[in-house]
């Protein structure tokens, strides 16, 4: 666990109930996100367990389960995990650190990491992605979403609660490079402008789909 992670977990514990009220139904207003998750689910259906990484209250896990996937959720915040378990009693959730996952190699068919990499500083991103690579089965998929930019934003209050949260913004090409360094093959990079202010924070968004190669190499590279 990095030096910042205890403060991150504690902050999300404090705002967990508010987060549910403000964020749990956000996918209803995000058609692009739903379509992206639909495509991800179609490729993984029947292949094994898929993890909602940094699951928060479990709304992405809920959506993927509704598309026929076997889903688990992992989050650094015990408060968030408790909220997710109440809202989604049919889905298993547990506390975990994405940079040091308590899972055997090749455990999962896929990982959806929607806005969870945003709390990982640049110097730790490749190692964290490498941990996700480790727990994916060969051919497994990683779908990421994050805020586009090059800044770090520090927040000390959310919904009138004191927090200590650092949000890291990343370039799409920058993140693709980190994924490749971690051993992934990047299949798709898409960006979009923000939805209306009443739907989400006004930042540009990136969605990257990456694959863990079969048997340690990419089939296309051997053709």
| Tens-digit pLDDT profile for residues 13-55 | 999 999 999 999 999 999 999 999 999 999 999 999 999 999 9
User: Is the model's pLDDT at 217 over the cut of 60?
Assistant: no
Question: What mean pLDDT comes out for the span 107-134?
Answer: 96
CA nearest 65: which of 52, 80, 54? 52
Q: What is the pLDDT of residue 199?
A: 86
Spell out the SS3 assignment of the chain.
CCCCHHHHHHHHHHHHHHHHHHHCCHHHHCHHHHHHHHHHHHHHCCCCEEEEECCCCCHHHHHHHCCCCEEEEEECCHHHHHHHHHHCCCCCEEECCCCCCCCCCCCEEEEEEECCHHHCCHHHHHHHHHHHHHHEEEEEEEEEEEEECCCEEEEEEECCEEEEEEEECECHHHHHHHHHHCCCEEEEEEEECCCCCCCCCCCCEEEEEEECCHHHCCHHHHC
> Domain residues for 57?
5-216
pLDDT bracket for residue 101 (50, 70, 90) = very high
In a domain? residue 190: yes
pLDDT band at 149 (very low <50, low <70, confident <90, very high): very high
pLDDT for res 220: 47
CA-atom Rg of the chain in angstroms: 16
To 5 degrees, how large is the angle CA 78–CA 119–CA 198?
A: 90
Task: Look at residue 223 and tell me if it is in a domain.
Answer: no
In a domain, 72, yes or no: yes
Q: Which residue has the higher pLDDT, 91 or 200?
A: 91
Whole-number average pLDDT of the chain:
93
222 in any annotated domain: no
Q: How confident is the model at residue 1 (pLDDT cuts 50, 70, 90)?
A: very low
Q: What is the pLDDT of residue 216?
A: 55
CA distance 59 to 3: 28
User: Residue 17 corresponds to which tokens in the numbers above?
Assistant: 């109930």
Mean pLDDT of 169-196: 97
For position 66, which CATH number holds? 3.40.50.150
Does the residue 221 lie in any domain? no
pLDDT of residue 222: 39
Count: domains in the chain:
1
- The structure's pTM equals 0.92
Asked whether 111 and 132 are in contact (CB, 8 A), the reply is yes
Q: Tell me the average pLDDT across 101-121.
A: 96
Are 99 and 8 contacting, i.e. CB atoms less than 8 angstroms apart?
no
**Residue 221: which pLDDT band, with cuts at 50, 70 and 90?**
very low
Mean pLDDT of 64-72: 98
User: Per the domain annotation, does 92 fall within a domain?
Assistant: yes
């Amino acid at each position: 666990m990095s030096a910042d992670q205890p403060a991150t977990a504690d902050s999300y514990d404090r705002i967990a109930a508010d987060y549910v009220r403000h964020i749990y139904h956000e996918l209803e207003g995000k058609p692009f996100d739903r379509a992206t998750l639909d495509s991800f689910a179609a490729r993984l259906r029947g292949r094994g367990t898929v993890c909602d990484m940094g699951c928060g209250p479990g709304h992405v896990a809920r959506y993927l389960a509704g598309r026929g996937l076997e889903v688990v959720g992992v989050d650094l915040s015990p408060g968030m995990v408790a909220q997710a378990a109440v809202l989604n009693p049919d889905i298993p959730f547990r506390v975990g650190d994405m940079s040091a996952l308590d899972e055997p190699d090749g455990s999962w068919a896929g990982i959806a990491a929607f806005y969870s990499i945003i709390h990982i500083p640049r110097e730790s991103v490749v190692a964290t992605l490498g941990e996700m690579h480790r727990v994916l089965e060969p051919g497994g998929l990683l779908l990421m979403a994050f805020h586009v930019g090059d800044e770090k934003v520090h927040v000390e209050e959310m919904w009138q609660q004191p927090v200590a949260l650092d949000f890291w913004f990343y370039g799409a090409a920058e993140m693709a490079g980190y994924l490749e360094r971690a051993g992934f093959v990047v299949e798709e990079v898409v960006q979009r402008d923000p939805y209306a202010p009443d739907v989400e924070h006004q930042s540009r968004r990136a969605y990257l789909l990456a694959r863990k190669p079969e048997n340690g190499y990419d089939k296309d590279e051997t053709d």
